[in-house]
Structure 1
Amino acid sequence: MTAPATFGTEALMPALGAYRKIAPEVEVDITLTDRNVDLVEEGFDVAFRIGSMRDSSMIARRLAPYRMAVCAAPDYLTRAGTPAHPRELEQHETIAFSPSARAPWRFVRQGEEVDVTPIRMITVNSGQAVRTAAQAGLGVIMQPEILVRRDIENGALIRLFPDWPLRERPMWLLYYRDRKMTPRLRSFITFATSAFAAPESLS
């Protein structure tokens, strides 16, 4: 299987213990990459993917949305000031994640949308490196909640604009329609769609 690097590290790997208990005989081979792989060409049975779906040849099972957070270190905010509105980010330095570095940051509140294009002083292709740069006080970041949650809880990073949530990104579990549904594949699909279920799937 394949999954985005941050999701795989922070969410999928911790969940595998529960899967191993129900399917201890299944050997799990995981590739973590932020590239959209070709499942057939590269030999993957299943993939986690973030964003809109365009390939109708695949079955896409909706999972819980991928939520993002904007935050910065206390010393950076002491030095640069704490922005009170998302538009003030245009006056702040940010550390960007390179696959989506040029995309604006979109905030939504009560039907109002605000797109912000901050000053990107550092761009890097690792979410963990973006987080580390923020901890070092190098600027503001937008990263997945699952990556920065502990830092926010312990005060290493301060969450900005909690009343301006970022637009959620859809997340999917993908597999090809003509892929043979083996018992091991079925067991993982059943597990993953439960462990990472979309809110409307919870009961």
Structure 2
Amino acid sequence: MLDIREILTVGMVLFAVIDVVGTVPVIVDLRAKHGHIESEKASIVACLIMITFLFVGEELLNFIGIDVNSFAVAGSFVLFFLALEMILGIRIYRDEESSSASIVPIAFPLIAGAGTMTTLLSLRAQYATLNIIIAILLNIVVVYIVLKSSSKIERLLGKNGLGVVRKTFGVVLLAIAVKLFAANVKGLFL
């Protein structure tokens, strides 16, 4: 059932996890290294990954013998470390260099990464699928706008402004990681 409050809640959670504004410095760096980034392609691929995982993620996990609680707890650790990266300004995860930046690393794993997928599975247990899909689509629109105007956003906010935004979303993400861990860790021992 369509619920505006659920859409806003899920949308804000996904917005914090995706952290497209916080990744503007990464996007600007990738644009400098690889030239033009295809915003449309990156947005569509990220959207398809998220919606596909929303529907088949749990079945895929069951197929390989992993329950949702284990995946959610593991994902809470991923979110925890992503949040630490954002808050402390350190780099824990290092990716290999690629020749094209539109799909890898922008669509996956920057936008539709492990944290996003874990969050989607957790949200699916609590919210209506239709509301989650609408929240995904709204976030993809924001992602597209940010990708298209990343250089303008960088100039507008400046380095200090981007740092504040990144740290703020890092704290929100840390809180989400703690909540995700607390909600699912009990299920591991039942």
TM-score normalised over the length of structure 2: 0.21
* Larger relative helix fraction: 2
> Higher relative contact order at CA 8 Å, sep ≥6: structure 1 or structure 2?
2
TM-score normalised over the length of structure 1: 0.20
* Larger relative strand fraction: 1
Q: Larger Cα Rg: Structure 1 or Structure 2?
A: 1
